[in-house]
Structure 1
Amino acid sequence: MTAALLTLADSRLPAGGHTHSGGVEQAVAAGLVHDPGSLAAFLLRRLTTSGAVAAGLAAGACAGGDLAALDDEADARTPSPALRLASRQQGRGLVRVARRAWPSGAWDGLPDRPHHPVALGVAAAAAGLTPRDAAHAAAYLSISGPATAAQRLLAMDPLAVAALTARLSPDVDAVAEAAVDAGLPAATDPLLDLLAEVHAVRRDTFFAS
């Protein structure tokens, strides 16, 4: 089971996550992220808002919650159309690979093109993981992908990026535990929504979002 958790939390899983920057690309363009310190602040901000929501949704889906209702909750908690599209693109990609890795009847309950955290929760359940595992995977993914994107965009020292990501481990654990214990979070960040919408109309980007 530990191997399954590590697989789901690996941003290199061929589910399309590597084509999304989690808002980092536009944050770099706006000058908000330019060095390890500003990246750490951005990642923490993302973790405690969209990451917390993703953790709650993944935990709920893993626990056997109503998948259609959870997908609607994901929509309601994602004001930005660009972010909703990005989430559904990644959800579809995850279903394609995880359904082959962990066949299960649970997949049949997913709506078409589900949000990524909902698909992640079903994948965790199919792999024999717990809702807490699903929440931790979602919380970790909310920072690992953007961190890698920032490293590529800014040609940052890989060791520095790895170190700052590791230092956020206690925060990842806290967000995941709170998502499991306190129910579905509703945290939002207007800045992330704005960055996503500005990014969506650009034609000179490296990442899909």
Structure 2
Amino acid sequence: MSMPTYKVCCDKCDYEAWSLKLWGAKEYIDSEGQRIPVDVTLNWCNECQSLEPVESFDHTEEYVKKLKEALNNIKDNTNSVPKLFYIRLMSWFRGADQCFLNEALEYTRKIELDFKRKGTEKCLTCGADDVHIYSGNKGIDWQLKFENDNDNTITNIQHPNCGGEFYISTDVIRVAMSSDMRTFTINGEELINS
């Protein structure tokens, strides 16, 4: 499968990094064996001295909204006697309800993780916690939307130890590559699969 990738450059020096560093599935595995997707953005790692994939815990509001939607879907499916009758009778309704319940549980785990780990983000390349987090909408993620196809996108993110500013080049290419599943503990340490 091919995916679009873009280049992040510095306007003062010749530094550049490609967003393909963000590719690949990444999951936490908690103590109960539950899998939780890892949210990742490009942030500066002082250990690697480059933009690297770093854990992101800035999506709490989004997950609260999605949790409410999943709970409302469950409520809508179970708020009347006829629907309860059909839920008991038909496996599709039970399956849909289980799907909404699974969504609600996943968003609950993500919200808990955001609260527990915010401020302890780690570089997913080297494992260091000496990272510079670009807060809010300044994060650079793999699904970036360009405002104008003809102009470079200024990020308002400073290049550490340089003083330049990162920008995202309009040079977008599509690259085909396979991606591996990487797994981590809830505390961000990579689990080596044998």
Q: Which has more radius of gyration?
A: 2
Structure with more of its chain in helix, by fraction: 1
Task: Report the TM-score when normalising by structure 1.
Answer: 0.30
Task: Report the TM-score when normalising by structure 2.
Answer: 0.32
